[in-house]
Copies of this chain bind each other. A is one copy, B any other.
Amino acid sequence: MNDASTGPEPAHSARLQHLIREVLPANCFYAKKYQDICPADITTLAAFRRLPFTTKAELVADQRSHPPYGTNHTAPLESYTRLHQTSGTTTGKPLCWLDTPGSWAAILDCWHEIFQTLGLTKRDALFFPFSFGPFLGFWSGFEGAVRAGFRVLSGGGMSSTGRLRFLQEHRATVIFATPTYAYHLTEVAAKEGIALAESAVRLIVVAGEPGGNIAATRARIETGWGAKVVDHYGLTEVGPVALEPPSNPGGLEILDEHCFAEVIDPVTLLPTPPGDVGELVLTTLRRTACPLIRYRTGDLVRQSAVVRTITRLDGGILGRADEMFHVRGNNVYPGAIEAVVRRFPEVAEYRITVDQTGPLADLCLEVEPLPDADVQQAVTRIRRAIQDELLFRADVVLAPAGSLPRFEMKAKRLVVKR
């Protein structure tokens, strides 16, 4: 599979060929979806790029009409051993996702690569401060670390304070969390008088939401912990997808051996030129028990214009296509607002409410102050900063201390009234 006009020859073309010719014919979902396509015809990248996209809505509908696991299976159902679920934040209904031992091993291989890139050693102790629920990222990271023989520490079924004491006692050096929860732990530590910056933690791997790539958010987490933040990106349906390499920060590098990445314009569905913002589209190359072909992630990225051997997304995940809203003629992403808010050290938490019930959308930003902060002045300055940088006027109001929700999982700071 080669196509010089669409970029460098991918190292994984053999895997793409295998996927199209061997995997898909055995898969009910794709056999039906691509019934008019002859696998033998997909010989070039250009031909591959003409295959219809797969969307989450399609998968949800398939699972709804063939409960509970739908028809996207390459192997007999008895051979699937692992079950995970998506958070259901975008479609309401969580998606169930199955793995065979082989596909699960492919995921653990991704983590092996991630741990190597992070330069972890046997002297590190890896702490996973969350409940081990149905979400794949937690289990896969933990088991990847177990398989790689690192010292692993699980923080399931503990309070945030319990986790902080536990990580101190056991000298954790690396933490895995959402950016929101990593920051929340700094708040809890401050309240409990725990000197987090004096802990052994040297690295915080964040994932699950933007934040790792928002400079002000990252700076807050790094200051609170006295540790370096590294961004990571993955999806339950695809697995671990990308990592911010410590040697070249400021963007995510795709694990190209494991998934084939494209960036498309979410409106025209045509490839986006490197350097432009578009929607990330992924094809699974090794986790093929429930394969995904040209899967629209909904996540907005900017592919690096610098030609590299590895696909690089400058600035990480920029936002979600479905979270963009229009305020007084401007396209706004929640991340742009977070980037402003987090620069103000007085702010502990925030929430964005977009009211689209009127003819023009209104945006209200609630900010919750840290104790003893001069917040009234901050409110005025945040309002001015949004006006200056994002070019629209927002209602900025004070929320009582401790009133806004905190999150262990993906934060939900955007409320849209339709």
User: A residues near B, CB below 8 A?
Assistant: 67-68, 78, 80-83, 96, 101, 122-123, 130-134, 139, 143, 146, 149-158, 166, 169-170
| A153 CB contact (under 8 Å) in B83, B146, B152, B155 | B83
Given A82-B146, A101-B149, A150-B81, verify A170-B133 contact (CB < 8 Å). no
Alpha-carbon distance between A83 and B155 when the two chains are bound, in angstroms: 11
> Are A158 and B133 in touch, CB under 8 angstroms?
yes
> Are A154 and B170 in touch, CB under 8 angstroms?
no
- How far in angstroms is the closest Cβ of chain B from A3? 40
13 contacts between A and B (CB under 8 A): A67-B169, A68-B170, A78-B123, A81-B149, A81-B150, A81-B152, A131-B132, A131-B156, A132-B132, A133-B155, A134-B157, A134-B166, A139-B154
Query: A166 — nearest CB in chain B belongs to which residue?
Result: B134
Alpha-carbon distance between A154 and B136 when the two chains are bound, in angstroms: 11
Residues of B within 8 A of A82 (CB): 146, 151-152
Given A68-B169, A169-B68, A170-B83, verify A133-B149 contact (CB < 8 Å). no
Residues of B within 8 A of A154 (CB): 132-134, 139
- How far in angstroms is the closest Cβ of chain B from A148? 9
> Are B150 and A131 in touch, CB under 8 angstroms?
no
> Are A151 and B80 in touch, CB under 8 angstroms?
yes
Given A83-B170, A122-B78, A170-B68, verify A133-B157 contact (CB < 8 Å). yes
Query: A82 — nearest CB in chain B belongs to which residue?
Result: B152
